[in-house]
Amino acid sequence: MPTASPRPTPPLPADPHSYAQGPALPHLRLALAVDFGQQTLAGSATWLLAELLATATPLVLDTRDLTIGQVVALDSKAARAGLASAGTAIPYTLTAPDAVLGQALRLELPAGTQAVRIDYRTSPGAAALQWLAPAQTAGTHPFLFTQSQAILARTWLPCPDSPGRRFTYEAEVEVLGSERGQLLALMSADNPQTTAPDGRYHFRQPQPVPAYLLALAVGRLDFAPLGDHTGIYAEPTTLLRASYEFAALDRMVAAAEQLYGPYRWGRYDLLALPASFPFGGMENPCITFVTPTILAGDRSLTSLVAHELAHSWSGNLVTNATWNDFWLNEGFTVYFERRIMEQLYGRPYAEMLQVLGEADLHHTMQELGPTSPATHLRLHLAGRDPDDGLNDIAYEKGCLLLLTLEQLVGRPRLDAFITEYFARFAFQSMDTDRFAAYLTETLLTPAEASQLNLPAWLDGPGLPPGAPVAHSARFDAVAAALARLATGTAPIALQPITTEWSSQEWEHFLRGLPPTLTATNLGRLDEAFHFTTSGNAELLAAWFPLALRAGYAPADAALENFLRYVGRRKFLVPLYRALLAAPGGRARAQETYRLARPNYHSVATNTLDALVLGEAH
Ligand code: BES
Ligand code: ZN
pLDDT tens per residue across span 222-266: 999 999 999 999 999 999 999 999 999 999 999 999 999 999 999
Mean pLDDT, residues 96-116 taken together: 98
pLDDT > 70? residue 40: yes
DSSP string, 569-606: HHHHHHHHHHHHHSTTHHHHHHHHHHHHGGGS-HHHHH
For the stretch 114-160, pLDDT in tens is: 999 999 999 999 999 999 999 999 999 999 999 999 999 999 999 99
The residues pairing with 98 across neighbouring beta strands, listed in sequence order, are: 102
Out of 395, 552, 576, 593, which one is annotated catalytic? 395
DSSP string, 307-331: HHHHTTTBTTTEEESSGGGHHHHHH
Q: 351: closest CA among 254, 255, 446, 477?
A: 477
- Cβ of residue 279 lying under 6 Å from some atom of ligand 1: yes
Least confident of 6-20, 66-80, 84-98, 376-390: 6-20
Catalytic, 283? Answer: no
The amino acid at residue 391 is: N
In the prediction, which pLDDT does 545 show?
98
Catalytic, 395? Answer: yes
pLDDT > 90? residue 12: no
User: Across the chain, which distance is largest between two alpha carbons, in Å?
Assistant: 82
In the prediction, which pLDDT does 1 show?
46
pLDDT > 50? residue 105: yes
**For residue 384, what are the contacts with CB-CB under 8 A and spacing of at least 6?**
100
Are 464 and 453 in contact, with CB atoms under 8 Å apart? Answer: yes
Mean pLDDT, residues 379-388 taken together: 96
Ligand 1: residue whose CA is nearest its atom 18? 304
Q: Which helix (H) or strand (E) holds 166?
A: strand 166-175
Helix (H, G, I), strand (E, B) or coil at 430: strand
pLDDT > 60? residue 531: yes
In the prediction, which pLDDT does 5 show?
55
- Cβ of residue 150 lying under 6 Å from some atom of ligand 1: yes
Out of 174, 283, 308, 507, which one is annotated catalytic? 308
Range list of H helices, 74-206: 76-81
The amino acid at residue 94 is: L
**Burial profile 208-227: b = 16 or more Cβ within 10 angstroms, e = fewer:** ebbbbbbbbbbbbbbbeebb
- For residue 212, how far is its CA from the centre of ligand 1 (angstroms)? 12
In the prediction, which pLDDT does 617 show?
44
Report strand pairing: 92-94 vs 230-234.
unpaired
pLDDT cut 90: percent of the chain above it: 95
Q: 156: closest CA among 214, 84, 100, 96?
A: 214
Question: What pLDDT band is residue 454 in, cutting at 50, 70 and 90?
Answer: very high
Residue 61, by phi and psi: left (phi above 0), alpha (psi -120 to 50) or beta?
A: beta
Q: 600: closest CA among 576, 583, 616?
A: 576
Q: 95: closest CA among 124, 66, 74?
A: 66
Residue 41 and residue 44: Cα distance in Å, rounded? 10
In the prediction, which pLDDT does 86 show?
85
In the prediction, which pLDDT does 602 show?
97
3-state helix, strand, coil in the chain (%, to 5): 45, 20, 35
Burial of 13 (0-12, 13-18, 19+ CB in 10 A): middle
- Cβ of residue 570 lying under 6 Å from some atom of ligand 1: yes
pLDDT cut 70: percent of the chain above it: 98
Q: 265: closest CA among 229, 222, 319?
A: 229
In the prediction, which pLDDT does 3 show?
47
In the prediction, which pLDDT does 84 show?
67
Report residue 557: phi and psi, to 5°: -65, -40
The residues pairing with 130 across neighbouring beta strands, listed in sequence order, are: 145
Mean pLDDT, residues 297-310 taken together: 98
Ligand 1: residue whose CA is nearest its atom 10? 282
pLDDT > 80? residue 9: no
For the stretch 405-423, pLDDT in tens is: 999 999 999 999 999 999 9
Would you give the distance in Å from CA 590 to the centre of its chain? 27
Are 146 and 139 in contact, with CB atoms under 8 Å apart? Answer: no
pTM of structure: 0.97
Question: What pLDDT band is residue 6 in, cutting at 50, 70 and 90?
Answer: low
Distances from the Cα of 502 to the Cα of 334, 348, 546, 570, angstroms: 20, 12, 20, 21
Question: What pLDDT band is residue 427 in, cutting at 50, 70 and 90?
Answer: very high
- Cβ of residue 576 lying under 6 Å from some atom of ligand 1: no
In the prediction, which pLDDT does 541 show?
98
- Cβ of residue 280 lying under 6 Å from some atom of ligand 1: yes
Q: Give the position, in ligand 1's atom list, of the atom nearest the Cα of 315.
A: 1
How high does pLDDT run on average in the chain?
A: 96
- For residue 207, how far is its CA from the centre of ligand 2 (angstroms)? 20
Mean pLDDT, residues 2-13 taken together: 65
Residue 107 and residue 87: Cα distance in Å, rounded? 15
In angstroms, what is the C-alpha Rg of the chain?
A: 25
Ligand 1: residue whose CA is nearest its atom 21? 280
Neighbours of 549 (CB within 10 A): 18
In the prediction, which pLDDT does 460 show?
98
Ligand 1: residue whose CA is nearest its atom 14? 281
For the stretch 324-368, pLDDT in tens is: 999 999 999 999 999 999 999 999 999 999 999 999 999 999 999
